[in-house]
Structure 1
Amino acid sequence: MRSVHTRVGGHELRHGLRQATLAGASLLALTVGALAQQSTRLDEISVQGEGGNGGATAGRALPGPRGPAVAPVEDPRGPVNGFVATRSATATKTNTPLIETPQSVTVVGRQQIEAQGAQTLTQATAYTAGIYSGVFGADERVDFFTLRGFVASDYGLYKDSLQLLNYGFGTFKVDIFGLERIEVLRGPSAVLFGAGNPGGIVNQITKRPTLTSFGNVELGGGSFGQTYAAFDVGGPTDDKGQLFYRLTGIGRQGGTQVDGADSDRIYIAPAVTWRPDGGTSLTVLTSYQRDSTAFTANFLPYSGTVKPNDFGLRIPRSLNVGDPRLNTFQRAQAFAGYEFEHALDSTWTLRQNLRYSFSDAFLNTYINQTGYADAAQTQLGRYQFLTSSKIGLFQVDNQAEARFSDGLFQHDLILGVDYKNFTLHDNQGTNFSAGYAVDPISILNPNYGQPVRGRPAPYLVNVNRFQQLGLYAQDQIKLTDRLSLIGGLRQDFAESIVEDKLFAGANSRERRDNALTGRIALLYNFDPGIAPYVAYSTSFQPQIGPDVITTQALVPDRGEQIEVGLKVEPVGAGYSLTVAAFDLVRDNPPIPFNFGTTQLGTVRSRGIEGQFVANLAEGLNVVAAVTHYDLEYTKVRSPSLNFLIGKTPTNIPETFASVFADYTIPFGEWRGFGFGGGVRYVGRSFADQNNFFKVPEYVLFDATVHYNWNDHWRASITASNIGDRRFVSSCQAELSCFYGEARRVIANVNYRW
């Protein structure tokens, strides 16, 4: 790696990075010193560890103005009771009740994931407000989603509060069998995370070691010949109660809704927690995952998918535009890191979260994206596309939290220094660069096994490097027993480098940026469990790589939002309702364009969201969501783009709603028998920048039947899109449309001890 020595905002970036390292070392040094002098217990230990959904973490309740600390009912990194979560650490990086969080948050727990039979992040968030999952249809490679109208699966995907950067064809995808909960945080959150999409982030919380021993084995299978076997075991490893473990794994194999395109996976995740005393915890989280699948998104024309083509034909949803012999996607990824926490005393707690992430992926396939190759519209044109990518991502987040009273107000203060370093080796090639043609494929009688005429030649060989240093502070202040104020500021220093290896550096670019972002919010808690709030926040997301049109480095993505909301969560009522209205402006959102990325201008998103989650009665759980927003371009970066003003970006439905209910009979002869179902509505979206072509609305139905017996066994059958409706999830352009998921039926049997 070549040396880069620059000045950012009057300060040397290298000096800033050195300070981040020293800050992390200082936190550990303070911890070691504290351990040598004392063994401080936390006020209370949060323990949630029953069955296969347990978690073992140390935490303290925020001392309230009316009395001493109280043990939290729920661990914000542990299991959710039923469907209704009460706490989260994503929005504030502190253990905060959702009813006291002035931001729109939805938590999807393990029980809801299992009730819905979800096997991917896309499926698990299908009943969540503000998020549209499966933007590119049944894509096996990546979980694509939008938040508040903006693509967020690139910079908005997190794992255990550390970012998973998905840039270009360098990607990560986490198997949700290894997750305890999924938290969808809507709106800008750059103050604490220094990154992410202004529309929000999705934080995937990994399963952690438990205080009690448990085991879980599951076998299942279903549509397209899919079968899988999974296990999840954990508990203490010593008599002193200081060392705990968890081992989670799953293996999948079988087909997909695309003919000849398999989807196989191996996932294994060992985790260990060491707790030498009540005030100290070190959790090591690791995982390895290998995917062997195919390119299934297909990039099909509007004519023939959304509507019949000129000759009344539709392209089969199961058509493999590639070739079973030449449609390969493979990825190996690994995560290794730890979460360290130590309570110095009754006021100060130190934390350090660190992870190194690695991904190595390869894709070689035929793609359409060029429309029909004949006048009869029975042949699809194709080109061959090959890409290989390697990602190395190092991140560390150092935090110091203080909970105290200044004599007038209660404070929960968090100070932090975080740093990330991202490197992507990105190689892309096509048959166009190699000078040979690819035969078209018939939509009526596809002929596979044709000879491969060559190997794609590279048109891009880049090394993209990105590093970012952030200093942040946030204070949650109890102005009165009921009125809370949250304020935060963050200063970021970022550097992005593109090294062109193909053309001897002719297209190499460097860019350095810095920004100050902030958030301020007020929330008032009424006695019945009603909490109105108002919040203002800004965001800053440096971009990676070049602009495919200007060839210059992409400029930072910036956001600004005003949000007002209402939360209803009566004590003991077993339900939660969140309603939020927002006005969000995003400058320079990146969009895909001609094998690359560009930025067109400023987009405004204004809308309202509602999320209802309830454990209504013993055995009855319900989740419902509604979302509506208006999206439009308000500014453009070039006069040639003036036609976009007032237009809505493609790919993005502006209205969607859903409801899902699950009931298990709690007593009597039918005790343990359960059933449920859901309805999902997605409104129309646009397929071209001029908004001439529309993708129509659609409604899908889901169902589930299950039976629990002997407190150990569970069998279930779940079906999504039970009517097998053929629909297009979205179109990126008139020649790039994507079929949504076909009917998916999964049956499984589970044994727990």
Structure 2
Amino acid sequence: MGSVRTLVGVRALRTMALAGASLFALTAGATAQQATARLEELSVEGTGRGAGATGGGQSAQRGADGRAAPEDPRGPVTGYVATRSATATKTNTPLIETPQSITVVGREQIDAQKAQTLTQATQYTAGVYSGTFGADTRVDYFSLRGFIASDYGIYRDGLQVLNYGFGTFKVETFGLERIEVLRGPAAVLFGAGNPGGIINQITKRPTTQPFGYVEVGGGSFGQVYGAFDIGGPVDDSGHWFYRLTGFGRQGGTQVEGAPDDRAYIAPALTYRPDAGTSLTLLTSYQRDSTAVTANFLPYLGTARPNLSGLRIPRSLNVGDPTINTFQREQAFAGYEFEHAFNETWTFRQNLRYSFSDAFQNSYLNQTGYADAAQTQLARYQFLTSSKVGIFQVDNQAEARFFDGYFAHDLLIGLDYKRYDLHDNQGTNFAAGYSVTPLSIINPIYGQILGRPAPYLVNSDTFQQLGIYIQDQIKLTDRLTLVLGGRQDFADNVVRDRLSPTNSSRRSDEAFSGRAALIYNFPEGLAPYVSYSTSFQPQIGSDANGRSYAPEYGEQVEVGVKFEPVGYGFFLTAAAFDLVRQNVLQPVPGTFFSSPLGEVRSRGVEVQAVANLAQGLNLVGAFTAYDLQTIKGNADQVGRTPTRIPEVLASVFADYTIPTGDWRGFGFGGGVRYVGRSFADVANTLTVPDYVLFDAQIHYTWDNWRAAINATNLGDRRFVSSCISANECFYGEARRVLASVSYKW
């Protein structure tokens, strides 16, 4: 059945590609002579048509109908309400015309909440459970529509940021302009990603207007930080623009003896020789120095009291401060090129090389207690060294035209990705020595016994080539049909340096597609329906050296969007039925995974964002799932997978007084509810639900702004999730930050 589906898909893709090529030949020749005159009429700030246009950071203007003027899909969001995105379709498409559930978190909302991580920035977003593995300073963890998406589901500027095993990246949020959460399969355009969705982080870009910004702050756990952001024209020619963003932080965390230091610098440069051509160089370097803060702790002692009636202190360093370390250097270097040949055809090429070099040495608890009274945590020592290199290029040709009957926005693309990982992992077990247990009542440190020996030394290479085509067809002025198809070719090679006979190679190919309809009523109501499939080749191999089979997904989604003209709010609601096949799940007590089988996620999501009045912004979300394993081991079928809460609700508001004696003074806050989840496969252990409160006050005068932000205001101790009865994670403690900023 799978081969038949692939064959049909390939034929369909070839037919669509040939049609697109013929169309290009007919259209390009007819319009070439008019191209120069048309391009001269375009604004130097960008055409507003292609996804690569960059804005000058100006506030959105409104037309006669009350709607905001077209915003740059990679530029600033006015208030909290975004109107356009280039993530769901890879084209500059209004959100109200996009037949898929998507939420955009803009810079203003990130700053208002003082979100310092991707986890914190998405806590008020529908369909997302942020901080799945607790207060982890190493990686941003989250789930989308009930599925962990921190590995294949993180993107930056439309290109994947892969986190496989211990080869990881973490993007500094101060360097972002917006964060776009796309829910549901996106493989038809991206060729990879969790079927629950992806999170695309949009980097700050050069602006046409000169500006400057500096900020200093500090707060909980002795943290202090400084940041700057400057940019504008390089010269008077109107062709060169720059931006330089930097961030530095030092201090501790909620875990004693665990630092969280960072240095980040991001130069960017744009060249626009004419109104239809732009080349933007995007680079960044980041160095992190932290420790393991997401301790693997037993269920008894965290979610519930243990046999001695005790709970493990949230601040306990399960490792040893003298060796508990995590160091990472990462760099991104690439460009975005765009050229409009004429009013019909635009070509774009996005290219990037990403590099990460990480080292971790720590004591961990993952096997429970070492004594019957449950006061001593069993520990082992884990050491890893991982180097990652990712080369990616995405070529796109977009044509906007009218065929005599329908208006089209046709996109044809070819992308390539190569991922290289050098992965070294070792433990004390392989070295033949034991690690002293740690008392949760009177912890004693400094007992360093040896150096771990390797149990895994692998060199992994993953390559993927994909060709895709998408057509957004205006059947009428209000009815839009979106059709898309993609053919992928993937190759996965695992070279086992310790046991060469366990080396493996696997090649896969698959077709994925999407069909969707959306109708836009004049009042701003837009119901839609979509069907989509996904394909995710898996990197690496299991404990026996066998390469993982690819993962597949299939989803039906119906929804409605509401953006009434001139009212300043956007409401979306969606219901979906999603099935994920060949799901990998961690094997408790190991660093390996195994295919679980099939999991179904059914649910509803509601998201509201609003600029309700001058100075008043609001965001609210509600999510409810029905997660169930429908194929797998006998003890798993019919059960709900662990670590995923099935109900999420949140609301956040911020108000700044616009006039009068108190002008510039503001305040706000939010409430987050997270429902219960399960801590074991049999669903006999539950992780309790919890409610958290956030608050802030701020004052703006002239170009200055001072603010105090607090998250988890009541300092509630809660468990964010459990993988098993011996692997639970504490969530973030109360975090208070005071900041002062100046802009010019």
In the superposition, the TM-score normalised over structure 1's length comes to 0.92
CA contact (8 A) 1:260 1:324 kept: yes
2:89 counterpart letter in structure 1: T
Partners in 2 of 1:592 and 1:118 — Cα distance?
A: 29
**Residue-by-residue CA offset, 1:607-656 (whole Å, 9 max, x unaligned):** 000000000000000000000010001112xxxx1121110111100101
CA contact (8 A) 1:47 1:75 kept: no
| SS of equivalent residue, structure 1 residue 111 | helix
Calculate the aligned-residue CA RMSD, in Å. Answer: 2.5
Residues 1:87 and 2:84 aligned together: yes
Partners in 1 of 2:256 and 2:179 — Cα distance?
A: 31
Residues 1:645 and 2:637 aligned together: yes
Q: Which residue does 1:626 correspond to in 2?
A: 622
Alignment counterpart, residue 737 of structure 1, candidates 724, 728, 739:
728
Q: Which residue does 1:575 correspond to in 2?
A: 569
How far residue 39 of structure 1 moved from its aligned partner, in angstroms, is: 7.6
How far residue 381 of structure 1 moved from its aligned partner, in angstroms, is: 0.8
Partners in 2 of 1:71 and 1:83 — Cα distance?
A: 13
Partners in 2 of 1:72 and 1:646 — Cα distance?
A: 50
1:570 counterpart letter in structure 2: P
Alignment counterpart, residue 331 of structure 1, candidates 304, 319, 328:
328
Change over 3 Å in CA distance of 1:217–1:76 after alignment to 2: same
Q: Which residue does 2:490 correspond to in 1?
A: 494
How far residue 453 of structure 1 moved from its aligned partner, in angstroms, is: 1.3
Q: Which residue does 1:63 correspond to in 2?
A: none
Alignment counterpart, residue 462 of structure 1, candidates 458, 478, 489:
458
2:475 counterpart letter in structure 1: L
Q: Which residue does 1:256 correspond to in 2?
A: 253
Q: Which residue does 1:598 correspond to in 2?
A: 594
2:516 counterpart letter in structure 1: A
How far residue 551 of structure 1 moved from its aligned partner, in angstroms, is: 3.4
**Residue-by-residue CA offset, 1:522-546 (whole Å, 9 max, x unaligned):** 0000010000000000000000001
How far residue 667 of structure 1 moved from its aligned partner, in angstroms, is: 0.2
Partners in 1 of 2:113 and 2:617 — Cα distance?
A: 12
Report sequence identity in percent: 70
Partners in 1 of 2:393 and 2:404 — Cα distance?
A: 34
Q: Which residue does 2:682 correspond to in 1?
A: 690
| SS of equivalent residue, structure 2 residue 580 | strand
Partners in 1 of 2:687 and 2:617 — Cα distance?
A: 33
Q: Which residue does 2:173 correspond to in 1?
A: 176
Partners in 1 of 2:41 and 2:715 — Cα distance?
A: 53
Residues 1:654 and 2:652 aligned together: no
Q: 1:38-77 alignment to 2 at 5 Å?
A: 38=36, 41=39, 44-45=42-43, 47=45, 56-57=54-55, 72-77=69-74
How far residue 187 of structure 1 moved from its aligned partner, in angstroms, is: 0.1
**Residue-by-residue CA offset, 1:671-692 (whole Å, 9 max, x unaligned):** 0000000000000000011111
Q: Which residue does 2:669 correspond to in 1?
A: 677
1:733 counterpart letter in structure 2: S
Q: Which residue does 1:158 correspond to in 2?
A: 155
Partners in 2 of 1:682 and 1:46 — Cα distance?
A: 47
Partners in 2 of 1:576 and 1:43 — Cα distance?
A: 33
Alignment counterpart, residue 550 of structure 2, candidates 553, 556, 568:
556
Give the unaligned 5+ runs of structure 1: 1-7, 10-15, 17-22, 49-53, 60-69
2:508 counterpart letter in structure 1: D
CA contact (8 A) 2:42 2:276 kept: no
Partners in 1 of 2:88 and 2:40 — Cα distance?
A: 23
CA contact (8 A) 1:55 1:79 kept: no
Give the unaligned 5+ runs of structure 2: 1-5, 8-13, 15-20, 47-51, 58-66
CA contact (8 A) 2:265 2:285 kept: yes
**Residue-by-residue CA offset, 1:313-345 (whole Å, 9 max, x unaligned):** 010000000011010000000000000000001
| SS of equivalent residue, structure 2 residue 634 | helix
How far residue 697 of structure 1 moved from its aligned partner, in angstroms, is: 0.3
| SS of equivalent residue, structure 1 residue 155 | coil
Partners in 1 of 2:548 and 2:291 — Cα distance?
A: 30
| SS of equivalent residue, structure 2 residue 538 | coil
1:378 counterpart letter in structure 2: T
CA contact (8 A) 1:704 1:718 kept: yes
CA contact (8 A) 1:40 1:278 kept: no
Q: Which residue does 2:10 correspond to in 1?
A: none
Q: Which residue does 1:718 correspond to in 2?
A: 709
CA contact (8 A) 1:718 1:745 kept: yes
Partners in 1 of 2:574 and 2:520 — Cα distance?
A: 16
Partners in 2 of 1:688 and 1:168 — Cα distance?
A: 22
Partners in 2 of 1:326 and 1:73 — Cα distance?
A: 53
Q: Which residue does 1:143 correspond to in 2?
A: 140
| SS of equivalent residue, structure 1 residue 115 | helix
**Residue-by-residue CA offset, 1:376-410 (whole Å, 9 max, x unaligned):** 21111100000000000000000000000001110
2:311 counterpart letter in structure 1: R
**Residue-by-residue CA offset, 1:8-57 (whole Å, 9 max, x unaligned):** 99xxxxxx9xxxxxx9xx99xx9xxx99x958527654859xxxxx9835
| SS of equivalent residue, structure 2 residue 502 | coil
Q: Which residue does 2:126 correspond to in 1?
A: 129
Change over 3 Å in CA distance of 1:47–1:112 after alignment to 2: farther
Q: Which residue does 2:655 correspond to in 1?
A: 663
CA contact (8 A) 2:693 2:711 kept: yes
Residues 1:513 and 2:508 aligned together: yes
1:256 counterpart letter in structure 2: T
Q: Which residue does 1:412 correspond to in 2?
A: 409
Partners in 2 of 1:275 and 1:148 — Cα distance?
A: 40
Q: Which residue does 1:524 correspond to in 2?
A: 519
Q: Which residue does 2:528 correspond to in 1?
A: 533
1:41 counterpart letter in structure 2: L
Partners in 1 of 2:295 and 2:276 — Cα distance?
A: 53
CA contact (8 A) 1:547 1:599 kept: no
**Residue-by-residue CA offset, 1:187-240 (whole Å, 9 max, x unaligned):** 001110000000000000000000000000000000000000000000001111
Q: Which residue does 1:421 correspond to in 2?
A: 418
| SS of equivalent residue, structure 2 residue 732 | coil
In the superposition, the TM-score normalised over structure 2's length comes to 0.93
Change over 3 Å in CA distance of 1:58–1:524 after alignment to 2: farther
**Residue-by-residue CA offset, 1:410-453 (whole Å, 9 max, x unaligned):** 00000000000000000000000000011011101111122x21
Change over 3 Å in CA distance of 1:39–1:513 after alignment to 2: farther
Partners in 2 of 1:72 and 1:185 — Cα distance?
A: 23
1:464 counterpart letter in structure 2: D
Change over 3 Å in CA distance of 1:57–1:275 after alignment to 2: farther
2:197 counterpart letter in structure 1: G
| SS of equivalent residue, structure 2 residue 660 | coil
Aligned positions, number: 710
Partners in 2 of 1:719 and 1:151 — Cα distance?
A: 27
Partners in 1 of 2:550 and 2:384 — Cα distance?
A: 26
Partners in 2 of 1:701 and 1:599 — Cα distance?
A: 38
Q: Which residue does 2:698 correspond to in 1?
A: 706
How far residue 73 of structure 1 moved from its aligned partner, in angstroms, is: 2.3
Partners in 2 of 1:621 and 1:186 — Cα distance?
A: 23
| SS of equivalent residue, structure 1 residue 417 | strand
Change over 3 Å in CA distance of 1:229–1:58 after alignment to 2: closer
Change over 3 Å in CA distance of 1:704–1:521 after alignment to 2: same
1:282 counterpart letter in structure 2: L
2:630 counterpart letter in structure 1: T
CA contact (8 A) 1:662 1:674 kept: yes
Change over 3 Å in CA distance of 1:739–1:488 after alignment to 2: same
Change over 3 Å in CA distance of 1:747–1:246 after alignment to 2: same
Residues 1:586 and 2:580 aligned together: yes
Partners in 2 of 1:579 and 1:153 — Cα distance?
A: 24
CA contact (8 A) 1:45 1:58 kept: no
Change over 3 Å in CA distance of 1:409–1:343 after alignment to 2: same
CA contact (8 A) 1:55 1:208 kept: no
Q: Which residue does 2:234 correspond to in 1?
A: 237
2:54 counterpart letter in structure 1: A
Q: Which residue does 2:11 correspond to in 1?
A: none
1:322 counterpart letter in structure 2: G
Q: Which residue does 1:193 correspond to in 2?
A: 190
